[in-house]
Amino acid sequence: MAYMSMGEAHRRITEYLNRFSDAVSSQDGASFKSLFALSSNSPYLLSLADALNLFQDANRLIKQSDNYSQFADILVPLFRSFQNYRQNNLLEAYNAFEKTANAFIQEFRNWESAWALDALYVIVYDIRVLAEKADKELASSGKSPEKLKGAGSVLMKVFGTLAGKGSKRVGALYVTCQLFKIYFKLGTVHLCRSVIRSIETARIFDFEEFPKRDKVTYMYYTGRLEVFNENFSAADYKLSYALKYCNPQSTANIRMILKHLIPVKLSIGILPKSSLLEKYNLLEYINIVQALRRGDLRLLRRALQDHEDRFLRSGVYLVLEKLELQVYQRLVKKIYIIQKQKDPIRAHQVKLEVIVKALKWLEIDMDVDEVECIMAILIFKNLMKGYFAHKSKVVVLSKQDPFPKFNGKPVNS
C-alpha cells in the first residue's frame, strides 16, 4: 500500500460518507449496496479501510454532519468492521458488522420501499461469510465457534422484517437461502422448518414471484431436506426443479444438485448415463450405477465403502445403502432370466440355494437363513412378485411381471 497522507485519508472517508448519504437520499440501491460489500474486497473499500486505519478519528467526522450522524449506528460499527477486516481481525470485524446489520435492519424497516434490498442482500451475505471466517478464527484459538449461530439469529431477524406483505417480501427467499446455508453448515437443519413453513404457506405471495436464483437455491436445499426424510418423490420434484432452472453456466451448482438428485433417481429406479456422471465429475456414482445394472452386490458395497465419508457428508449414504435391495432384485432377475432360457416352464421357481451360490460367487458370505430373509423382504417390498415357500426353500415368482418396474415410484418401505 502506497503511503497515504492524512488529508487523503480524510478525503476518502468523507467521500464515502457522502456517497452513503447521497445513496440514501436518492434511494440508489445499486451504489448503496457497494458501500457494504465488505467481503467483496473491492479496492475502493480496501483503500477506505486503510484510510480509516490511518485517520483514527472517523467517528468525529460521522458526527459532524447531520447527514451522517443519523446513520451513526450503522456507520460507526461499519467503519470499525472495515478496519478490523483489513487487519484480519475477523472476530472483531464480525462483531462490529453484526452491530451494523442490526442497525441497518432498524433503518430498513423504516424505509417504505424496498429500494435498499440489494444492500440488505449484501449485508446478509457478508454477515454469513464473516461469521464463518470469524468462527474459523475462534476455532483456531481454541474457543468455541458460535458466531455463525449468531449470524443465523440475525438473519432470522432480517427474515422477520421481510416476511410480511409488500415489496420487501421478495427478499425473503434470499434470506431464507442464506439461512439454509448456515443451518446446513451448523447441522441444525431443524431450524429451517419455521422458515420453510412461512415461505410455503404464504398465500399472498406466489412462490414463482421470487427471483429465480433464490428459487433454485431454495429448491436445492429443501430437496436435500426431503432426501433426509426419504421422501423421494418430493425430493425428486424439488431437485429436478432446481436442476431445470439452474443456470447452465454454473456447473458447480449443477454438480451440487446432481449429487443429491442422482441417488434420489437411483432409488426410484432411474439410472443416469455415465456420460452425465463424467461431465459433472460425479465418478463416485459410477460404480454404484454399475452395480445396479449388474446386480453386483459386491461392487455396490465396495463403492459405498470407498466413498463412505463423502456420502455421509452429503447425507446420501443411507439412500445409497438402500439400493442394496435393488441389487438383490437384479440378481434374482438375472437368475430368473437364465433359468428361463434353460427351462421356461419351471423358471419361476428359483431355488434358494442357487441364490446363495450366486452370492457366494460374489464373495458375499450369507447363509441360507439370511438370504431367505432378503427374499422375504424383496417380496414384502414389492420388488418381486411371488411368494416364498419355506418348506421347500424356493422362491416362487409370479408368472406375470415378476419384477415390477419402479415407474418413478420409490421402493415401498
Q: Which is nearer to another protein, 170 or 256 (CB)?
A: 256
Among 30, 72, 283, 389, which residue interacts with another protein (rule: CB under 8 A)?
Answer: 389
Among 98, 126, 284, 372, which residue interacts with another protein (rule: CB under 8 A)?
Answer: 372
C-beta of residue 35 within 8 angstroms of C-beta of residue 119: yes
Residue 127 in grid coordinates? 454477515
Q: Match 455463525 to its residue by C-alpha cell.
A: 148
Among 377, 392, 408, 409, which residue interacts with another protein (rule: CB under 8 A)?
Answer: 377
Among 193, 360, 390, 409, which residue interacts with another protein (rule: CB under 8 A)?
Answer: 390
Q: Can residue 264 be called a binding residue for another protein (CB under 8 A)? A: no
- Burial class for 6, CB neighbours closer than 10 Å (0-12, 13-18, 19+): exposed
Q: Can residue 139 be called a binding residue for another protein (CB under 8 A)? A: no
Task: Centre a 10 Å sphere on the Cβ of residue 337 and count the other Cβ atoms it contains.
Answer: 11
Among 230, 237, 287, 403, which residue interacts with another protein (rule: CB under 8 A)?
Answer: 230
| Least distance CB 325 / another protein (angstroms) | 7
Among 44, 205, 237, 387, which residue interacts with another protein (rule: CB under 8 A)?
Answer: 387
Size of the site for another protein (CB under 8 A): 32
Q: Which is nearer to another protein, 12 or 259 (CB)?
A: 259
- Nearest-10 Cα torsion for 281, 282, 283, 289: -140
Among 283, 312, 337, 338, which residue interacts with another protein (rule: CB under 8 A)?
Answer: 312
Q: Can residue 380 be called a binding residue for another protein (CB under 8 A)? A: yes
The single-letter code of the amino acid at 67 is N
Q: Which is nearer to another protein, 29 or 152 (CB)?
A: 152
Q: Can residue 236 be called a binding residue for another protein (CB under 8 A)? A: no
Do β-strands 394-397 and 386-389 pair in parallel, antiparallel, or remain unpaired? Answer: antiparallel
Q: Which is nearer to another protein, 48 or 148 (CB)?
A: 148
Residue 292 has φ and ψ, to the nearest 5°, of -65, -40
What distance in Å separates the CA atoms of residue 94 and residue 353, rounded to the nearest whole number?
Answer: 66
What distance in Å separates the CA atoms of residue 99 and residue 116, rounded to the nearest whole number?
Answer: 18
What distance in Å separates the CA atoms of residue 124 and residue 157, rounded to the nearest whole number?
Answer: 11
Q: Can residue 143 be called a binding residue for another protein (CB under 8 A)? A: no
Q: Where are the alpha helices (DSSP H) in 35-167?
A: 43-54, 58-64, 66-69, 72-86, 90-110, 117-140, 147-162
Q: Which positions lie near another protein, rule CB under 8 A?
A: 187, 189, 228-230, 309, 312-313, 315, 317-318, 321-322, 324-325, 369-370, 372-380, 387-391, 396
